[in-house]
Amino acid sequence: MTINTLGETPGQRLLQLRLTQAHAELSRRGGKEVSVTDCAYRCGFNDLSHFYRAFRQRYGMTPGAVVAEVRDGGAIVQ
């Protein structure tokens, strides 16, 4: 597979994978509330500002809003 086939650079692909992982972790139900900071670092983000901007751009809401939705019993859609 080439980059042109995927339509994104390796860096963009890695960012999307990390965001998907973070969203899944923040959306997980049944456990204790997840720390957004800890989640960001576990998913490979070293800059929280970059994480928040990229997350909001992809999902249309902040990571904290996802945690709040889970806590309040709302449905999270990826």
Question: Burial code of 5-23, b = ≥16 C-beta within 10 A, e = fewer?
Answer: eeeeeeeeeebeebbeebb
Q: What is the pLDDT of residue 1?
A: 47
pLDDT digits (tens, 9 = 90+) for 8-39: 899 999 999 999 999 999 998 665 778 999 99
pTM assigned to the model: 0.82
- In angstroms, rounded to a whole number, what is the distance separating the alpha carbons of residues 19 and 23? 6
